[in-house]
Amino acid sequence: MCSYGAVIPPAGILRYDGDDPYLVVAADKGTATFSDIANEISIQHGFWLGDAFASGGSVGYDHKKMGITARGAWEAVKRHFREMDVDIQSTPFTVIGVGDMSGDVFGNGMLLSRHIKLVAAFDHRDIFIDPAPDPETSWAERERLFNLPRSSWGDYDTGLISKGGGVFSRKLKSIALSAEMRRLLGTGQGKMTPAELINTILKARADLLWFGGIGTYVRASDESNIEVGDRINDHIRVTGKDLRVKVIGEGANLGVTQRGRIEFALGGGRINTDAIDNSAGVNTSDIEVNIKIALDGAIKNGRLAPADRAGFLAGMTAQVGELALRNNYEQTLAISLDQARGCAESGAQTRLMSKLEDLGELDRALEFLPDDLTMRQYQKQGRCLTRPEIAVLFAYAKISLFNDLLEGDLVDNPYFTSPLLGYFPQDMQSAFGEDIKAHKLRREIVSTLLANDMVNRGGTAFASRMGDETGTGAGTIAAAHVMARDIFALPELSEAVEKLDNKVPAALQTRLYLSIQHLLRRQTLWFLRNGPGADRLAVTIESYRQIVDDFMGCLEDLLEPEFWQSIVDEKNRLMHQNLKEPDAFRFAAFPVLMDVPDIIRAAENTGRKARDVARVYFAIGQALGLETLLESADKAAPEGYFDGLAYSRVIGNTGVAQRRLTEKVLGATGEWDACLAGWLEANADLVKRTTAALGDLAASGPLTLSRLTVANGYVSDLVAAS
């Protein structure tokens, strides 16, 4: 129980734990009806959340009407296909389904594209087979069944089913297979029992296997049915190796075991986990609860009449749905980027798992994640974590980061008022902004938003790696992340790439997303090593971003002609691939943007204009060949995780050395060009020797860690001697 502003424990209870007043529940089934019963009990007991205790109900969001769980899982399915350069919203594709049209997830899901060719499906009553469906006709019939109360496959108009298909009761002793069914299923058998037919359907070739019904139908080949724990489906269950579909969409829970997912993924199948795919329903409930908490404050303060609350909530249904779906889009993208980095992430992932295990936050055996020895064996074999494994580690990384952020004070920074408001629907922000700002769970919401953003944008092991690189904690890392993200307008760039969905090859989008991630990682590291603290978050972002924008408008004047031309050429290549000119230019300028913080710091240290500092900085880099050197270093393949940290350290030190050289040049009096000419003349022999030594290193083989360390030493010696 919780009175307004004070926690009151239940009477007659001896407590050993401290205050923890937040408790909400969500119905596994019956969200629209049983939630009202739970909320009545909550209100009777004076629980502070009232009807926010159980989401849904008569004054909440009806998940089936919204179709939110299916729509969220469909975002995952669309990404799988989009990464194969297939747009399932405009291209016909074949589907095998588990469920029927009366169900929320199956029914809503099978209406989300008019190009679905549902060739086979089954539930606990019937088996549906349509060997060559017409997408438009079959979609309309599925819609009719969805709107028909308590419908089943038995209600399907069999006159609309293609030749050789039909609807068959699972009570039949045997089912005769037509020639068309045999071709569809890839079998020579003339008849099968219903169980045999379902087993064969699950092993049939199709584009998508859509889970929207109850039961576990796929296990690993080395996993027993007893381990699965779903006896009723033992006789029809298949293994991950048996599957011949390209993609699995887990709209329902537990359709595949985790080991089954991993096995399917290792065979080239595309799959996440049920927790990732069908999270939109839970996410909608979270948003609903937090809206109701804010509105409770508005009612108590007289800003909202109780009678108007239900209508206001209902009016935001579409906005709430879009907010929930955004998470499905971003989380599946984040998993794809971790997967795209492949084994280059293995060391960081291993390190993260070890840390979480040491903290007692992760049980690798329980979650079917490999131990350190197995990870080392995987790396030797060129095997990386699969999407299902990444998805599990991804969740644990977010939970751990959330807890660490919540314990600190960064989330109280006023800079996060804007993202806090952005968590809520636009109508809430406009009408009840002050109540959102005073939200009882403000800190928890901000911590969640930060943890999500850091892992989604930086990668599963991002915060862990930054901690290893600098010895800093979660709050400091988060502040540096936000500086890097917002100074360089990375969300806007990501949005530009997102708008290219189904317009350019997926490989190009992935490359662009990874380049954004690379810039984010490099700049986060710079701010951790060099930047101001979180107390200057807003001021730093505003001042640095102005300089970045200024640089983007005058790059041609700042760079040597050859360097500038390389940027123009890359910009033109990207524009030819459908990027808009401003976005293409920004991406092409990434090699320059990498250096902007060092230039700004040098300007602060010398009192010179940032543009003049940039001219000297880039001229020195060009003269010594540092740009080429650092570009090669970025492409190097470290032998292990800590070698990677060492590479990063040396790259950072080389940037610092270039900055100090710039400061030395500008320490003289006069205009920047005169200072540069004077320094080059005075140190001609040193510069010549250093340039020659760096050139020899670059030309004598791959840029190993030892070679890069020697190169950094040459530049540092030049700083000391000049």
Q: How far apart are the first and last CA of the chain?
A: 71
Of the candidates 278, 327, 308, 310, the one whose C-alpha atom is nearest the C-alpha of residue 61 is 310
**pTM metric for this prediction:** 0.95
Q: Which domains does the chain have, with CATH numbers?
A: 1-58 (no CATH), 92-278 (3.40.50.720), 307-519 (no CATH), 595-721 (no CATH)
pLDDT at 48 over 50: yes
pLDDT in tens, 433-482: 999 999 999 999 999 999 999 999 999 999 999 999 999 999 999 999 99
Taking every pair of C-alpha atoms in the chain, what is the biggest distance, in angstroms?
Answer: 97
Q: Among residues of the chain, what percentage have pLDDT more than 70?
A: 98
Angle of helix 506-530 relative to helix 474-487, nearest 10 degrees, comes to 120
Q: What single-letter DSSP state applies at residue 54?
A: B
> Token pair of 51, please?
């009807």
CB 285 within 8 Å of CB 309:
no
Torsion sign over Cα 143, 149, 152, 156: negative
> Beta partners for 209?
96, 248
Cβ(258)–Cβ(265) under 8 Å? no
CB 368 within 8 A of CB 389: yes
Phi, psi torsion values for 133, nearest 5 degrees: -70, 150
Which tens digits make up the pLDDT trace of 72-85?
Answer: 999 999 999 999 99
At 531 the pLDDT is 78
pLDDT of residue 560: 87
Do residues 280 and 71 lie in contact, with contact meaning Cβ atoms separated by under 8 Å? yes
pLDDT at 511 over 50: yes
28, pLDDT greater than 70: no
Encode pLDDT of 357-371 as tens digits: 999 999 999 999 999
The band of 5, judged by pLDDT with boundaries at 50, 70 and 90, is low
Cα–Cα distance, 464 to 348 (Å, whole number): 8
| Angle (CA) 488 492 494, round 5° | 100
Report strand pairing: 175-176 vs 191-192: antiparallel
Answer yes or no: are the C-beta atoms of 71 and 318 closer than 8 Å. no
Question: Is residue 29 pLDDT above 70, yes or no?
Answer: no
pLDDT tens digit string along 118-130? 999 999 999 999 9
Compare 13 and 153 and report the one with higher pLDDT: 153
For residue 555, give the nearest of 565, 546, 564 by alpha carbon.
564
pLDDT in tens, 539-577: 999 999 999 999 999 999 999 898 999 999 999 999 999
* Predicted confidence band of residue 32 (pLDDT cuts 50, 70, 90): low
* 144-184 pLDDT, tens digit each: 999 999 999 999 999 999 999 999 999 999 999 999 999 99
Asked if 520 and 334 count as a contact pair (C-beta separation under 8 A), the reply is no
- Residue-level pLDDT at 2: 47
Report the C-alpha gap between 456 and 132 in whole angstroms. Answer: 40
* pLDDT above 80 for 631: no
Span 265-286, average pLDDT: 97
Residue 313 tokens, joined = 């909530």
The reported pLDDT for the residue numbered 55 is 82
3-state SS, residue 117: strand
- The strand ranges marked E within 142-233 are 166-169, 175-176, 191-192, 205-211, 218-219
Long-range contacts (CB closer than 8 Å, 24 or more residues apart) made by 178-184: 178/131, 180/131, 180/132, 181/129, 181/131, 183/131, 184/119, 184/120, 184/129, 184/131
Please give the share of the chain, as a percent, with pLDDT higher than 90.
83
Strand 205-211 and strand 93-98: the pairing is parallel
Could you give the CA distance from residue 553 to residue 369 in angstroms, rounded to a whole number? Answer: 48
pLDDT digits (tens, 9 = 90+) for 524-545: 999 999 978 888 999 999 999 9
Q: Are strands 218-219 and 238-239 parallel, antiparallel or unpaired?
A: parallel
Residue 1 has pLDDT above 60, yes or no: no
d(CA 356, CA 342): 21
* Distance between CA atoms of residues 113 and 404, nearest Å: 41
The mean pLDDT of 300-322, rounded to a whole number, is 96
CA-based nearest residue to 718, from 657, 647, 651: 657
Instruction: Provide the total of helices (H) and of strands (E) in the chain, helices listed first.
Output: 35, 12
